Structure 1
């Protein structure tokens, strides 16, 4: 984990290298966390994982609430309905 003070944001080349090497940089102001600067690839991977986790959570909610259908039955209904 890389932590830098706010004043170091002036050195954009250094911050960019830290983000590339570590994925993210935590920025502090007066010793307290204020910002997170992320490499774009790290940002994309974090949000992809978040979307996957959200989809899994929603699927589990549907499963526990009984809103899921049996996959084999659905495929048979599709075959009958659409002649697939």
Structure 2
């Protein structure tokens, strides 16, 4: 991992480590890689409440989250995402 996280690296890590079927990563820091807002859609979230989902993501991205200032996540199952996005 480089000193500055990129949206592409974080997107790839999320998809690989959490089996995400959809991920949206936005660098809220203006490109310096210190604040990210993410949406993660994964079947791994099925049957888990919000706290359990956040813990799962935090464990999967532990080293990346430790290297940045702010990390905001919204986690959905594929079914929840389909309803939310109107599919």
Q: Same fold (TM over 0.5)?
A: no
**TM-score if structure 1 supplies the norm length?**
0.27
Structure with higher helix content? 1
- Structure showing greater radius of gyration is 1
Relative contact order higher in (CA < 8 Å, ≥ 6 apart): 2
**TM-score if structure 2 supplies the norm length?**
0.26
